[in-house]
Amino acid sequence: MKNSNWIPSLLLCALCACSSPSGDKDLVPPEIFPSGESTSPLNCQEFPRGGFLPFSYVFSDDVELGSFNLEVHNNFDHHTHSTEAGECRQDPVKQPVHPWIFNQDYAIPAGKTSYEANLRIPIPEDIDPGEYHFMIRVTDASGWQQLRSVSIRISGNEE
């Protein structure tokens, strides 16, 4: 009985001692920040079709950024909300006829830990107006990903 107690204790100590720190590997995903005054798109913002959607956000990572992707899909079915706080005005649910599909991958120059992306995305003339999601995805060089979803509205060409 005397020598029985130290064995479990020893076992536990041995187990604890084995959990090593994570070393110098990159374990942190990149981040997506508003770029300040010029940040676009903002949640619930409205853009006319046939015009341009300015994109301006800042990506940062503690080691090295990878690449980013911008994607637009419709939310006519109200399938989800954005990652932003607050809900936007909602239209009745409707069927897409010719929805805007935009999906583009972009490279970030090698070696960057911070990168401000400024783009002008043309909005086609003939698409369905209504609620859309603007998805921002960014990776770092190690394969971590961050995303942000912004609700936008595309307005029709009312006179």
Backbone dihedral angles phi then psi of residue 17, each to the nearest 5 degrees: -65, -20
Residues 35-94 close enough to bind other proteins by CB under 8 A:
66-69, 71, 73, 78-81, 83-84
Structure tokens at 121: 């995305």
Q: Which residue number, 35 or 142, has a Cβ lying nearer to other proteins?
A: 142
120 binds other proteins (CB under 8 A): no
112 binds other proteins (CB under 8 A): no
Is 62 strand, coil or helix?
coil
- Measured CA to CA in angstroms, residue 146 lies from 23, 66, 90, 107 at distances of 22, 11, 27, 15
What count of Cα atoms within 13 Å lies in the side-chain half-sphere of residue 51?
A: 13
Q: Which residues bind other proteins (CB under 8 A)?
A: 1, 3-4, 7-8, 11-12, 14-16, 18-25, 27, 29, 66-69, 71, 73, 78-81, 83-84, 96, 101, 103, 105, 135, 137, 139-149
